Amino acid sequence: MSEISNQLENLSYKAQQIANEASQLASSVVDTSGGHSDFIIFGITVLVLACFVGYYVVWSVTPALHSPLMGVTNAISSVIIVGALLAAGPIDSTISKYFGLVAVGLAAVNIFGGFVVTNRMLSMFKKK
Amino acid sequence: MSNLTTAAYLISSVLFILSLRGLSHPSTARRGNFLGILGMTIAIVTTLANPGVLSYKEIGIAFLIGGLIGTSIAVRIQMTALPQLVAAFHSLVGLAAVFVAASAYYNPSAFNIGNVGAIPMGSLIEMSIGTAIGAVTFTGSIIAFGKLQGFVSGNPLVFKGQHFLNLLLGLGIIALIVKFCIDQNQELFWLIVAASFVIGVLLIVPIGGADMPVIVSMLNSYSGWAAAGIGFTLSNNLLIITGALVGSSGAILSYIMCKGMNRSFLNVLLGGFGGEQAASADGVKDDRQAKQGNAADAAFMMKNSKTIIIVPGYGMAVAQAQHALREMGDLLKAAGAEVRYAIHPVAGRMPGHMNVLLAEANVPYDEVLELDEINRDFSETDVAFVIGANDVTNPAAKTDKTSAIYGMPILDVENAGQVFFVKRGMASGYAGVQNELFFRDNTLMLFGDAKKVCEDIIKGLEN
C-alpha cells in the first residue's frame, strides 16, 4: 500500500514539474509574440482547426435532426454577445456603448429564442 | 486576457462542440442542447467579470428585453413556420455583428485595438470584413424571411444585368474596404454597411421559394463567419471557434440540400429557378389522362395492405395535415399494416423540416426514414401514399435526360404495388416539370386539400 502511495506521490511531483515547464514555455511564447498582429496567424490556425472539428461533428449529426441543428447553431452563433458586452461595458455614455447595448439585446433574442425553440423541437422526438 | 478568462472561454468552446455532437442521435440531443446553454452561460458570465464591463444595470435591461422577446416568440411559433423563424433569427446575428463592429470602430480602446483614428491595419481589415458579412446576412435573411412568410413573392425576381450589378457592387465593397483601411474614415465605414445591405437584398431576390432550404442554410453559415470575423477583431478564440462551427455546419447543410436536388451551389445562387416562368417554359400540353380515385377507395385498399410507406412534402406542411396524417397512420397500424414514412433530403423549406413536423404529430422517430434507408423497400411495399410532395417522386429524373430535374435523387414510389397521390390539382411541381408518375397504371390521384383527404380516409377507415 505504502509503496503505491509513494509512487503516486512521485508521479504527481513529476506531473507538477512538467506542468511548470509547460507554463514557462507558454509564457515565453506570449512574451515573444507581442501585440495584435501575431494574433492573426494564431487566430487563423484556430479557425482552420475548428473548421475541421465542425466538419466531422456536423457530418455525424443525423439528418432527422437537421432542423434542431440549425436552431442550436443559430443560438450559439450569438456568442457574438461577448463582443457586445465588452462594447456596452463602459460607464460613460458614448455612441459606441449604445451600439453595444443594441447588440446585447439582439443577441439575447437569438440566444433565448434559439435554445427554447430547439428544446421544443427536441422534446417532440419520441421513440415507439 | 487573463489565463482564467481564456480557460473559461475554452470550456465554452468545448461545450459548444459537445452540444453539436449530441445531435448525432435523438436520445442524446436534449442533453446536447443543455450543454449549449451551459456553454453560453459560462461565456456570458466570464465576459461580465471582465474589469472593463461596469454598466451592469443597462446591460441587464437590454439582455432581459431581448430574452423576453426571444422566449415569447420561440414558445408561440408554429412548427410549420420554423424556416421563417430561423431566417429571422439569422438576420439578428448579422445586425448584432454590424453593431459590435461599429462600436469597436468608435471606441477601439474597449477592445484593446488602439485608439480612435489610430486602429492598426489588421484590426481594420477584420472589422470591415466582419461588418460586410454581418450586413449581407442581415438583409439577405430578411428577404429570405419575407419569401418564406409570403410578404415578398416567392417567385424569383430576375432582371437584365443582375449578376453584373452584383459583381460591380462586390468589387465596390472591396474598394471601399481598402480605402477604409487606409483612411479610417467614418463615412467609409457606413458606406461599406450600406453597400453590403444592398448586395444582401440583390443576392436573395432572384432565388425561388423552394430553393430556400439552401439559402437558409447558407445564411446560417454566413452568420457563423460574421461571428468569426468579430472574433478576430476581439482576438477571441471562443468567437472564432464557434463561428467556424456554425459556418461549417451551414455550409455542409447547403451542400446536402444541393446534392438532394442535383444542382450546383452556384446554380442555386444565380437563381431564376422555379416559379411561373419555368412552368410556362416547359409548355408542352399533355393530353394523357391520370386516373382519379376517392378517399373511400383509398381507405378500402389501404385497410387490406400489409406494408405502407407515406411520403410527405411541403404541401403537407402548408395544409397542416400532419396530425390527420398521423391519425390515419395509427388506424392503419391498428388494422395490421406496417406504416413507415420516407423523407427526401429537400422535402420542406428547411433541412429536417418534415422530421420535426412528424415528431410534432407524435410520429415515433424510428418510423421515419431517410431516402437511402428506405428507397429499396418500395418494390416490396403494397401502398405508397404521397402527400404534398411532387418533384421528388418523378421517375423522369432517372430516365429523361432533357428534364430539368434529371439526375436528382428520387424516392422510387413507382415501384410500390399501388401509389396514392394526394394533390390539389394537376398543376406541375416547383421545377415546372410534369410528373410521369401521374400517368402510371398503378397510380391513383386523390384530388383535394391534404388535410381534408386524410380526414376523409380516416372516416372511411372507421366505417
The interface pTM score, or ipTM, of the predicted complex is 0.90
Say yes or no for a CB contact (<8 Å) between B106 and A128.
no
Q: Is the pLDDT of residue B282 over 70?
A: no
Q: Given an 8 Å threshold on Cβ–Cβ distance, is A128 in contact with B367? A: yes
Q: How many CB atoms lie within 10 A of CB A18?
A: 10
The pLDDT assigned to A34 comes to: 44
Q: What amino acid occupies position B266?
A: L
Shortest Cα distance from B290 to chain A (angstroms)? Answer: 34
pLDDT digits 0-9 by tens, B38-56:
999 999 999 999 998 999 9
| B391 counts as catalytic | yes
Contacts of A106 in chain B (CB under 8 A): 66, 92-93, 95-96, 99
Q: Give per-residue pLDDT as tens, A62-90.
A: 999 999 999 999 999 999 999 999 999 99
pLDDT of B64 higher than 50: yes
pLDDT of residue A29: 46
Q: How many CB atoms lie within 10 A of CB B11?
A: 16
Q: Locate the chain B residue with the closest alpha carbon to A78.
A: B93
Which residues does B272 contact at the CB level (< 8 Å), separation at least 6? B156, B158, B206, B208
Give the distance from residue B165's alpha carbon to the nearest chain A alpha carbon, in angstroms: 30
Q: Which of B211, B391, B412, B456 is catalytic?
A: B391
Residue B279 binned pLDDT confidence (cut-offs 50, 70, 90):
very low
CA–CA dist A106, B91 (Å, integer): 10
State the best of A41, A55, A59, A70 to mutate against chain B, taking most chain B CBs within 10 Å: A70
- Write the DSSP assignment of B378-395 as a string of letters: GGG-SEEEEES--GGG-T
Contacts of B371 (CB under 8 A, 6+ apart): B342, B343, B344, B345, B409, B411
Q: Which of residues 49-108 of A touch B (CB under 8 A)?
A: 50-51, 53-55, 57-91, 94-97, 99-108
Phi, psi for residue B310 in degrees, rounded to 5 = -100, 130
Q: Enumerate the residues of chain B whose CB falls inside 8 A of the CB of residue A53.
A: 17, 241, 244-245
Nearest-angstrom CA–CA distance, B24 and B302: 34
Counting residues of chain A whose pLDDT is more than 90, the rounded percentage is 62
- Of B32-41, B126-135, B323-332, B419-428, the range with the lowest mean pLDDT is B419-428
A91-118: b or e for each residue (b if 16 or more CB lie within 10 Å)? Answer: eeeeebbbbbbbbbbbbbbbbbbbbbbb
Q: Nearest-CA distance from B30 to chain A in Å?
A: 6
Mapped onto helix, strand or coil, the DSSP state of residue B441 is coil
Specify the pTM.
0.87
d(CA B269, CA B109): 40
- The string of pLDDT tens digits covering residues B100-146 is 999 999 999 888 888 888 888 888 998 999 999 999 999 999 999 99
pLDDT digits (tens, 9 = 90+) for A119-128: 999 999 988 7
Residue B179 and residue B188: Cα distance in Å, rounded? 8
Per-residue pLDDT tens for A16-25? Answer: 666 566 555 5
Query: Which of A66-70, B12-16, B228-232, B265-269 comes out lowest in average pLDDT?
Result: B265-269
Q: Does A5 touch chain B (CB under 8 A)?
A: no
